[in-house]
Amino acid sequence: MKDRAAEFVREQNRKRVEQLLKGKSVVTVKDAVSAKLSRNLLSDMAKKGLLTRIKPGVYESNHRDVSEYESFVDISVQAPNAVIALLSALQFHDLTTENPHQIWVAFSRGQRIPKTEYPPMHHVIFSKKTYLYGIEEHKAQGVIFKVYSVAKTIADCFKYRNKIGLDVAIEALKEGLDSRKTTTIEIWEAAKVCRVQNIIRPYMEAI
């Protein structure tokens, strides 16, 4: 009788966790506690193969829908202050055919940079003003992730041209304008924030 009662409780708890995961890709220990569930429930479910542990206190369903932005979502969950930037932002905006093997993200100077287990992350540090400029919020799998706008991404690419390649920055500028995903005014404003006006000017004039 006790075994049946215990199994009933476990089944009810699993259903409550499924409700917490509804419309989301991950569930946290904080979510469980807020729902008046045991702090150890998610860990126990992971040990039984019902959930997958992403990092301490963060778990994902083994049956979640896979999004094309899955890597961005996973990074956002593990590093909420991270903003998808540079090569990864170009990929998001369909401004490159490259598929970087790391997720490029930006943090503001002074922010804590968490260690991520997966996917691999390559970070850059921006001043607070540069970090805050041009952030867009997008949502996938119930999770909000941040990405720099097309104009800000192009300006960042010129600023980091020595790391990603000047040819990548020029192609992003051309593609951004040709596709009308941004304007020369928006790019110029972003270039002023990133302090790359003199670098980007001749390429803008040539297009």
Q: Are residues 123 and 106 in contact, defined by beta-carbon separation less than 8 angstroms?
A: yes
Residue burial 152-170, b: 16+ Cβ < 10 Å; e: rest: bbbbbbbbbbeebeeebbb
Q: Is 181 helix (H, G, I), strand (E, B) or coil?
A: coil
Q: Are residues 54 and 39 in contact, defined by beta-carbon separation less than 8 angstroms?
A: no
pTM of the model: 0.71
pLDDT at 17: 75
Question: What are 26's two structure tokens?
Answer: 């991950």
* CA 181 – CA 175 distance, rounded (Å): 8
Nearest to 60 by CA among 74, 71, 40, 79: 74
Q: Is the pLDDT of residue 1 over 60?
A: no
CB atoms within 10 A of CB 96: 20
Lowest pLDDT segment from 91-100, 172-181, 188-197? 91-100
Relative to beta strand 51-55, strand 58-61 is: antiparallel
CA distances from 91 to 6, 27, 108 (A): 49, 27, 22
Question: pLDDT band at residue 84, thresholds of 50, 70 and 90?
Answer: very high
Q: Are residues 73 and 25 in contact, defined by beta-carbon separation less than 8 angstroms?
A: yes
Tell the burial category of 203 from Cβ atoms under 10 Å away from its Cβ (0-12, 13-18, 19+): middle
Which residue has better confidence, 98 or 73? 73
pLDDT tens digits along 118-130 = 788 999 999 999 9
pLDDT at 13: 73
CB atoms within 10 A of CB 131: 21
The residue ranges of every structural domain in the chain are 2-61, 70-206
Nearest to 131 by CA among 150, 111, 101, 154: 111
Q: Are residues 147 and 133 in contact, defined by beta-carbon separation less than 8 angstroms?
A: no
* Mean predicted confidence (pLDDT) in 140-145: 85
